[in-house]
């Protein structure tokens, strides 16, 4: 009988071994929360972060150990505790001294975007929205 395909980590271990039953996002979030807590004395413990984020101490512990997936509401509360946007907590390799930012499009990028957008709209309107 042929085995089912199971993704492998870069360490050669089965996916479920290094990811547990939780998503890769939970692992990234855990790593980033731990880095942020180490860099911020005011939030260096589970009780301090729990109080600031208004979530349970047990939830903080599970998040820090990537033992749970969380809601968007909890992600937002954690981000607010660190004065960040929720998406920033999900960027792999977050550097607490150099947060990721979104930048505005350059004039050339904006022009290219608008040209592509109008071509797609024109194509779709000529087909009646169907391919």
pLDDT, one tens digit per residue, over 14-58 is 444 444 555 789 999 999 999 999 999 999 999 999 999 999 999
Dist. CA 103–CA 78, nearest whole Å: 23
Measuring CA to CA, which residue among 9, 11, 61 is closest to residue 34?
61
Contacts of 125 (CB under 8 A, 6+ apart): none
Instruction: Tell me what the pLDDT averaged over the chain comes to.
Output: 83
pTM (2 d.p.): 0.65
Q: What is the pLDDT at residue 80?
A: 97
Dist. CA 69–CA 26, nearest whole Å: 6
Measuring CA to CA, which residue among 127, 51, 95 is closest to residue 59?
51
Q: What is the pLDDT at residue 5?
A: 38
In the predicted model, is pLDDT for residue 1 greater than 90? no
Share of residues in the chain with pLDDT > 70 (%): 79
SS3 assignment, position 4 = coil
Contacts of 60 (CB under 8 A, 6+ apart): 46, 49, 50, 53
Paired residues of 8 in beta bridges: 14
Q: What is the pLDDT at residue 4?
A: 40
Measuring CA to CA, which residue among 78, 87, 80 is closest to residue 59?
78
Q: What is the pLDDT at residue 110?
A: 87
Q: What is the pLDDT at residue 91?
A: 93
């Amino acid at each position: 009988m042929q085995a089912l395909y199971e993704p492998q980590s870069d360490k050669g271990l089965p996916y479920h071994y290094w990811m547990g039953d939780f998503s890769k996002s939970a692992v990234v979030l855990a790593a980033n929360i731990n880095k942020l807590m180490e860099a911020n004395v005011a939030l260096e413990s589970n009780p301090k972060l729990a109080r600031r984020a208004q979530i349970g101490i047990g939830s903080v512990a599970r998040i820090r150990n990537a033992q749970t997936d969380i809601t968007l509401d909890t992600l937002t509360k954690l981000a607010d505790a660190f004065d960040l946007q929720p998406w920033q907590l999900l960027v792999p390799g977050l550097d607490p001294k150099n947060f990721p930012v979104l930048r505005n499009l350059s004039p050339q990028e904006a022009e290219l975007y608008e040209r592509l957008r109008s071509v797609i709209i024109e194509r779709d309107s000529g087909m009646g929205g169907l391919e």
